[in-house]
Amino acid sequence: MSTTVMKMKEKKTSLFKIRAKKMWSNKLAAMGLAICLVMILLAIFAPLFTKYSPTQMDLTSITHPPSAEHLFGTDKLGRDVFAQILYGARVSIYVGIMSSLGGTLIGVILGCLAGYFGGKLDNLLTRLSEIAMTFPELILVLVMVAMLGQGVSNLIIVFMITGWMTTFRLVRNEFLSVREETYVSVCRSFGISNLSIIFKHMLPNTMSPIIVAFTVNVAGYVLAEAGLSFLGLGVPVTTPTWGNIMNAAQSIDVITNFWWLWLAPGLAISLFVLAINFLGDGLRDVLDPKQ
């Protein structure tokens, strides 16, 4: 028995090494992973990389260009832009990760139930997802934000409610295929409960596309938060986020004369989203058994 367990562990370790090597050989995916980790660490340990607070105003240093004192310059209130970007990353990335996690969780649970049981439950959940997807996502998000109000928690709830459909359809389609496998019939014949079959035996075999979808959704929600905050409908302006930094720099005067106020946060958003997409493409290639 112990020998069998050891062989299984060795097989898993070997598979992990193969996937890690394949991931590392994909230069864009490796670069995306490195950039994501660096930006997340910079956000977590922001006080170690800047001595300024994102809300600290200095009226003697208004709209100063980038310098040794202020790496990314200062805004119209004398606040350090570099500090705002570091602390803003905490909120923006947190919203992206938690929204993707919540939406993925809802989509996975509903997709598992619909794909395994089929019938009326499948028809009901599928029609519900189709109805939700007929509305333009931006309009649906704006309506939900207007109903719940601004705030980090409310924004995450809105993204969770409006973002589960794609994951649901992905998991449902996977389960419709997997439930015909022999091991599922064997589990049923041994009297194993449906929930145990779904979440202990079938779900682990469909995790690869779920992981990829989760990763890509993080980038989408970071962009969505930035867009809503830029419009003044996302996180309150008193909370530093990448979108709020862009919102404060949307006037023609700022775009023309104070380029660092929009270029720095714009590059931060673009770099993180690009890195996440590179990472998602790499994970898809590594985890897809067809590759």
Q: Kindly report, residue by residue over 225-262, the tens digit of the pLDDT.
A: 888 887 777 788 778 888 888 887 777 777 778 888 88
Q: How far apart are CA 250 and CA 226, in angstroms?
A: 13
- Residue 5 within a domain: no
For residue 95, pLDDT over 60 is answered with yes
Q: Report, as an integer, the average pLDDT of 32-47.
A: 91
- We report the CATH number of the domain holding residue 214 as 1.10.3720.10
Which of the 8 DSSP states describes residue 251?
Answer: S
Residue found under tokens 């950039």: 35
Q: Report, as an integer, the average pLDDT of 114-142.
A: 85
Q: How far apart are CA 49 and CA 170, in angstroms?
A: 41
- Residue 15: what pLDDT? 63
Domain of residue 239, residue span: 37-57+68-287
- Residue 93: what pLDDT? 92
- Residue 62 within a domain: no
Q: How far apart are CA 133 and CA 122, in angstroms?
A: 16
- Residue 10 within a domain: no
Burial grade of 125 (CB within 10 A; 0-12, 13-18, 19 or more): buried
Contacts with 249 (C-beta within 8 Å, 6 or more apart), sequence order: 75, 255, 258, 261, 262, 265
- Residue 216: what pLDDT? 86
- Residue 160 within a domain: yes
For residue 70, pLDDT over 80 is answered with yes
Q: Report, as an integer, the average pLDDT of 63-68.
A: 84
Q: Report, as an integer, the average pLDDT of 128-135.
A: 84
- Residue 3: what pLDDT? 53
Q: Report, as an integer, the average pLDDT of 149-161.
A: 86
pLDDT band at 1 (very low <50, low <70, confident <90, very high): very low
- Closest alpha carbon to 52 in 26, 28, 74: 74
- Residue 12 within a domain: no
- Residue 13: what pLDDT? 60
Total structural domains within the chain: 1
- Residue 155 within a domain: yes
Which of the 8 DSSP states describes residue 71?
Answer: T
pLDDT band at 137 (very low <50, low <70, confident <90, very high): confident
3-state secondary structure of 74: strand
- Residue 204 within a domain: yes
Alpha helices, DSSP H only, in 27-80?
27-44, 46-49
Q: Report, as an integer, the average pLDDT of 78-104.
A: 91
Q: Count CB atoms within 10 A of the CB of residue 221.
A: 25
For residue 66, pLDDT over 90 is answered with no
- Residue 24 within a domain: no
User: What value, to the nearest 5°, has the Cα angle with vertex 203 and ends 198 and 206?
Assistant: 140
CA contacts within 13 A on the Cβ side of 16: 6
How does the average pLDDT of the chain come out, rounded?
A: 83
pTM of the predicted model, to two decimals? 0.84
